[in-house]
Amino acid sequence: MKRLWFIFLLLLSLSFSEELFKLKWKAYVGKENFINNNPIIFGSYVLHATNGDENGKDEYDKLYVFNENGKLLWSFEGTSDMQGVIACSEYILTADDNGYVYALSWDGKLIWRFKASKGITALSLGDIDNDGTPDAVVGSWDKNIYAISGKSGKLLWRFEIGYWILSSPALGNLDDDGYLDVVIGSDSDYIYAISGKGGRFIWKFKTSFFTRSSPALGDLDGDGTPDVVVGSWDKNIYAISGKNGKLIWKFETGNGIGSSPALGDLDGDGTPDVVVGSWDDNIYAISGKTGELIWKFKTDDGVDSSPVLADLDNDNIPDVIVGSGDFNVYVISGKSGVPLWTFKTGGAIVSSPALGDLDKDGYLDLVVASQDGYLYVFEATREHGKVVWSSFYGNTMGRIYYSPIEPLIKEKSIEVPSLNYLVAPERITYTYRGKTFIIPEGRKFIFAVRSGSEYKIFPEEYN
């Protein structure tokens, strides 16, 4: 009976799979789109930084900024292969393989530049010094994590791992001090938690092999502190307590994991579940509460791409969008694990898709970078439900799943929209644990209802 039901669901999904997305435009950006060359959508812009057509400097080694219709607005060249992009309203952050980190204005002008001793391997953004401006947190081939002031480009602190860092930092408050902390994997076989306030060591967790998957943060055990979910080349996906660095559960796949997890509630139990790819060619959906398999979907090659999550079939369960080394981008039902839509490109897809409504017409746009050299932009053909995890960086910049600051303000000072963020109607200044914080007028910030008319305020920008 189960087999018949699966066949029915599969046939049903295939009956409308061709209608789920349509190609809107594509642009040639170079073939070297690796695991850290992830496109992003920010407002009505598509941003993508590539390694060009070959290893080393060539004509396509650029940061590209397109508008919603595919027009190239401007590009920026570093000194070597470009190593990813991330953005906030204040600036665009990119880097290159010679160790330079660049903060650019939205019209392409250099704001500041920072130099590490070797190439940059990982980028993240978040206000770790609580001055109201997002800061850069980056990893380097020189085995260090750097925290860089978003305002000045000056070094805030440096933490030496001692091994290569090919995992992007996740930011969240683990030690309840009102500051964003940093969680990152490394080739040392350890996952590190580092205090955002001064770069102090908090805890580390040992895996059995190197970790190049980037962590995701979400409260899996219900203790109010974001926990860490990360894959390792030892074939395991780990759920680790953010509070003390102890193992909550682990799940073994059939090969190494370079894909970074996405978090969203697939089974309706109120706890974020985990979706991740593996080099065993499968995409796994795992219960965040128990660590047990919900479903798995087999592709025809290894999966380095990191999933994004959105309810595309309007069943109130987030669906999975992910690329594979088999040249395909897949949309998979979050409820059943059956394919809803597939598009084959001309090359492997190892970077991560991005979702957003570029032209604000109510239909999601999907951006995918393939190793055939093209950046593909699709538009959904139907209205969608909730977007849960919109890019490699999650739903907020710098993979912030929970923000550190939890003061209360009254409903009368803000208007609550239907989406899961608020907009500051005016500059909000408040004090929490003896420190003053500011949310600028017009800044979006994530909130969670506590009770009645009071809200926890999370002043990290919603992308």
**Taking a C-beta distance cutoff of 8 angstroms, is the pair 436, 411 a contact?**
no
Residue 386: the pLDDT is 81
Of 7-11, 32-36, 99-103, 124-128, where does mean pLDDT reach its minimum? 7-11
Residue 416: the pLDDT is 35
Mean pLDDT, to the nearest integer, of 164-176?
Answer: 88
Over residues 260-315, the pLDDT tens digits come to 999 999 999 989 999 999 999 999 999 999 999 999 999 999 999 999 999 998 89
Kindly state the tokens that stand for 73. Answer: 């607005």
**Cα-Cα-Cα-Cα dihedral sign, residues 148, 154, 158, 162:** positive
* Strand stretches in 271-338, DSSP E: 273-277, 282-286, 293-298, 308-310, 319-323, 328-332
Of 153-162, 214-223, 415-424, where does mean pLDDT reach its minimum? 415-424
CB atoms near residue 251 (< 10 Å): 20
Is the pLDDT confidence value at 361 over 60?
yes
Q: How much is the pTM?
A: 0.82
Annotate 343-369 with DSSP letters as a single string: EE-SS---S--EEE-TT-SSS-EEEEE
Kindly state the tokens that stand for 212. Answer: 């190049």
Residue 398: the pLDDT is 37
**Cα 282 from Cα 280, distance rounded (Å):** 6
Residue 322: the pLDDT is 96
**Cα 443 from Cα 61, distance rounded (Å):** 33
Residue 162: the pLDDT is 85
Residue 387: the pLDDT is 82
Mean pLDDT, to the nearest integer, of 379-385?
Answer: 87
Exposure string of 334-351, with b = 16+ CB inside 10 Å and e = fewer, is: bbbbbbbbbbebeebbbb
> In which band, very low, low, confident or very high, does the pLDDT at 454 lie, cut at 50, 70 and 90?
very low
Q: In this structure, what are the phi and psi dihedrals at residue 4, rounded to the nearest 5 degrees? A: -60, -40
Over residues 216-225, the pLDDT tens digits come to 999 999 888 8
Of 423, 434, 426, 417, the closest CA to residue 457 belongs to 423
**Cα 298 from Cα 282, distance rounded (Å):** 4
Over residues 233-263, the pLDDT tens digits come to 999 999 999 999 999 999 999 999 999 999 9
**What percentage of the chain has pLDDT greater than the value 70?**
79
* Strand stretches in 155-298, DSSP E: 155-160, 170-172, 181-185, 190-194, 201-206, 216-218, 227-231, 236-240, 247-252, 262-264, 273-277, 282-286, 293-298
Kind and range of the H or E run holding 14: helix 2-16
